[in-house]
Structure 1
Amino acid sequence: MSDRPKTDQTHSTSADHVSSTTPLSSAVLLLSTLAIALPTTWPVTQMQAQEPTAPSAAHQLFLAPSATAQQTPRNQRWFPIPVNSIRGQILELNDKQAKIQVPGKVQVDTYAANRVIHVRLANTPDDQIKALALYDQRQFSAALPAIVKAVSEPQNGQRAPVWRQQWLSMLAARAAMQSNRGSVAIELVRQLDQRPLPAMTLGLLPIVWDWSDTSALVQPAVKAAGSDSLAVKLVAASWLMRSQDYRDAAKSALQRLAAQTQRPTIATLAKQLLWQLKTPVQIQSDFESWETEVEALPMPLQTGPMIGLATTLRRMGQNEASQRWSKALELAAPTPYPVPKPTQPIP
C-alpha cells in the first residue's frame, strides 16, 4: 500500500515548527522469558545509533498538511490538501518533534511530531524489505522473526536509528498479535511504552480495530488488564471488548482510559474504540459525529480508527458510508499500516 497518492514538496510555516526536544536514553528490553524464538535482548532502544553527519537524502518524510492549511473551509477550496513530502537526513524524531537536514540548506527544519505520517528510507536494508513484504502479504508468523532480525542485526556496522527501531518493533507487536502470540505482543508494547513514542509509532499499537475473532487473545489480555502501562491496558481492552464474558469490563477500562488526562493520545484512541461499543441505534443515529471525530484525528493515528469505522458501519447496515470509508482506505490510507483486512462477510 502506498503512503499517499499525492505529495508535494511544500515545507510547513514557522507556526508549525516546535523547539522543544526530548533526548532518548538507552534501555535494554528483555524477552528471554517469552515462549518464542526471539533474541535474549530486544535492542529497540539499546543502541545509540549513529546518523551520518553529512546531509543526504536518506529519508523521505511524509507530513500531514499544516494546521493553517487544514483550517481553510472545504467550500473555499476545490482540491484536496496534499501531503507534504520532504527528503533529507532525519536528525531526530521523537514524541515532540522531527528534525530533518535537507541537502543544500544550512538550517535544520523542525516539524511537530504529530504531523509525521510515515518515513520512507531511500535505501531500505534488504532484511527490512523482506520483513515488510511478509507483513504486507499477511504472513504474520513469518514476518515476526523477520522483523526481529531486522531490528536486532546491524547493517554496515550500524543499527537503525532509535525511531526506526521503535517503529519496526511496534510492527513486530502487530505481527505477534495477528499470529495469535498475544503474550509477545503485550510484552513488546509494555517495554516500548516505557518511553514517549512518536504518533506514527503509537498508530501501530496492536489494537483490534475490526471485528475479527480475538478468542485466542483473551487470556493474554486478561493477564495484562492490570498492567501499569496505559498502552497495554488499551490494547488488552481492544482484545476483550469482542468477548461476551469480558465486554463490560473492557468497556469500563476504555471509559477510564478515555477520561484520563495523563496520556491524551491513549485517551483519544480509547474514545474511538468506545464508539464501536455503542448500540446499533446509537451508531445509526449519530455516525456522522463519529466520522467527524475520525477526520479530526492527527493523520498518523487515523488508519486504525478508519478501519474500525468502516467495519462497524458495515455491521450496522450503513453500506454507503462504509463503502466510502473502505474506498478511502484502499486508495488513500493516511499510513501504510495497519494493513486493512480484505473485505469479508460480517461475522
Structure 2
Amino acid sequence: MILCKSNLDFMQLFQSIGFFVIRGYVRSMRLLALLLLLVYSVTQSDWIWAADRIWLEPAQPTVGQGDWYPRSIEVLSGRVVALGAEQFRVIPEGQNAETVTSAARVLWVEPEQISDLEKGMIDLFKEGKYAQSLSGLPDALKGRPPIWRQQWLTMLSANSAWLGGRASVALELVGQLDRRPLPAMVLAWLPIAWENGTQPAAVVRAAKERAQDPSAAVRLVVASWLLSSADRKQGLQIINELVRDSATSKDISQLARVLSWRVTPPPQVAALRPTWEKQIAALPMAIQTGPSRLLMNKLRASGQAEEAKRLQLSLELTPVYGLKKVLASSLNQ
C-alpha cells in the first residue's frame, strides 16, 4: 500500500468534469455547501493508506430524502474489479464482497500504482508535447493495465494526436475504442471541438474522409471538427443523423444534441439558455464540462458576459476539474 497523492495531484490528473451551477441564490448556496463538503472529504482522506481511490457522482436521492440538501461526491478506497459502460465493480477497502454501482457515476479512478510509461505519457501531455506522449501508447499498453485504464490512455492519445497534427490517427483510435461500449469517464475525453474556432485544413480533410464511419463516436468527433470549417452543414447533418438514429447510444446522442447548439444564432441564446442548462444538468457529471464550455462560449458570443462569467467561475472553482489548463487549450481549438 502507498500513501494517497495530494489534493493538488488529484486535481491535475482528474479528467474533464464539473458541477453545473443552477441559477438562483438558494441553489448557489447549496452548490457552495456541496463543494465545501467535497473539499473536506478529500482533505480528510489524504491521511488514509489506500489502494485505488475512486470518486463517484452523488447518488440520486430517494423519494423520502428529497433534493434540497447538497449531496457530496463519494470518495472511497478499494480495489477496482471492473469498469464497463454500465457497471462499476469494486471491493471497498476492509471488505471482501464486491460493491456494484452504475458506471455513469464514476468520475475518476486513481490507481494505487501506475507504470513509469503511463506517468510519462500523462506528463508529456500536460507539457504540450503531444507527439511524444502519443508515441508512448504502444509500450504503455504492453504493460497490460486494466481495460478501463487502457481505454482512458488510448483516449488521451487520441487527444494528443488531434492536438499534435495527426487527426487521422485520432479518429482511428476513437474508432478502435468504440468497438465496445465505453464508460462516461472515457467518453469525457473524446477529442470534440466544443467551442467555435477554425480547425486546420488537415483536420478538416481527415474529418471528411471519416464522415460515413460506422462508429458513432467517430462521427460525433468528425461533426465537431466540420462545424469549425466551411463544411459546417455536413457537420450539422451528421449530428442530426446521430440524434435520430435509435442505434446511437444515449450518451453519444445527448452529446450530439448539445453539439448542435454551436450553430444557434446569438439572438436565440438567451431564450434557450434555461433549457440548455437543464439538459447539461441531466448528463452524467463526468461528461458535463465540454457542454458547459460550449454554453459559456455561446453566452459570451451573444453578449451575456455576466452569465458566461458565472459559468466560468463554476468550472474554475470546482475542485474536481483536472488537467484544467490543457483542457482549456484543447477545447479552444
TM-score, with length taken from structure 2: 0.80
1:23-172 pair list within 5 angstroms: 57-68=50-61, 76-77=68-69, 80-152=70-142, 154=143, 159-172=144-157
State which of 286, 289, 301 in structure 2 corresponds to 1:315.
301
State which of 202, 205, 208 in structure 1 corresponds to 2:187.
202
Distance in 2 (alpha carbons) for counterparts of 1:247 and 1:343: 20
Q: 1:334/1:275 Cα in 2 relative to 1: closer, same or farther (>3 Å)? A: farther
The answer to whether the aligner puts 1:229 opposite 2:222 as a matched pair is: no
Calculate the aligned-residue CA RMSD, in Å.
2.6
State which of 197, 200, 217 in structure 2 corresponds to 1:215.
200
Q: 1:68/1:166 Cα in 2 relative to 1: closer, same or farther (>3 Å)? A: same
Contact 1:329/1:340 (8 A) holds in 2:
no
Q: 1:102/1:240 Cα in 2 relative to 1: closer, same or farther (>3 Å)? A: same
- Structure-1 residue corresponding to 2:271: 285
Farther-moved stretch of structure 1 (180-189 vs 211-220): 211-220
Letter in 2 for 1:341: A
C-alpha deviations, 1:106-150, integer Å up to 9, x for none? 221111011011111122322222221222233323322234432
Cα deviation, residue 71, structure 1: 9.7
What is the percent sequence identity of the aligned residues? 33
Cα deviation, residue 72, structure 1: 6.3
- Structure-2 residue corresponding to 1:295: 281
Letter in 2 for 1:94: G
Letter in 2 for 1:300: A
Distance in 1 (alpha carbons) for counterparts of 2:319 and 2:129: 21
C-alpha deviations, 1:161-219, integer Å up to 9, x for none? 11100111011101111112110001001111111111111111111112243123100
- Structure-2 residue corresponding to 1:35: none
- Structure-1 residue corresponding to 2:21: none
Letter in 1 for 2:57: A
Q: 1:160/1:141 Cα in 2 relative to 1: closer, same or farther (>3 Å)? A: same
Q: 1:311/1:274 Cα in 2 relative to 1: closer, same or farther (>3 Å)? A: same
TM-score, with length taken from structure 1: 0.77
Cα deviation, residue 327, structure 1: 1.7
Question: SS at the partner of 1:332?
Answer: coil
Structure 1 residue runs of 5 or longer lacking an equivalent are: 10-55
Letter in 2 for 1:167: W
- Structure-1 residue corresponding to 2:292: 306
- Structure-1 residue corresponding to 2:164: 179
Cα deviation, residue 270, structure 1: 0.2
Cα deviation, residue 311, structure 1: 2.0
Question: SS at the partner of 1:273?
Answer: helix
Distance in 2 (alpha carbons) for counterparts of 1:73 and 1:205: 34
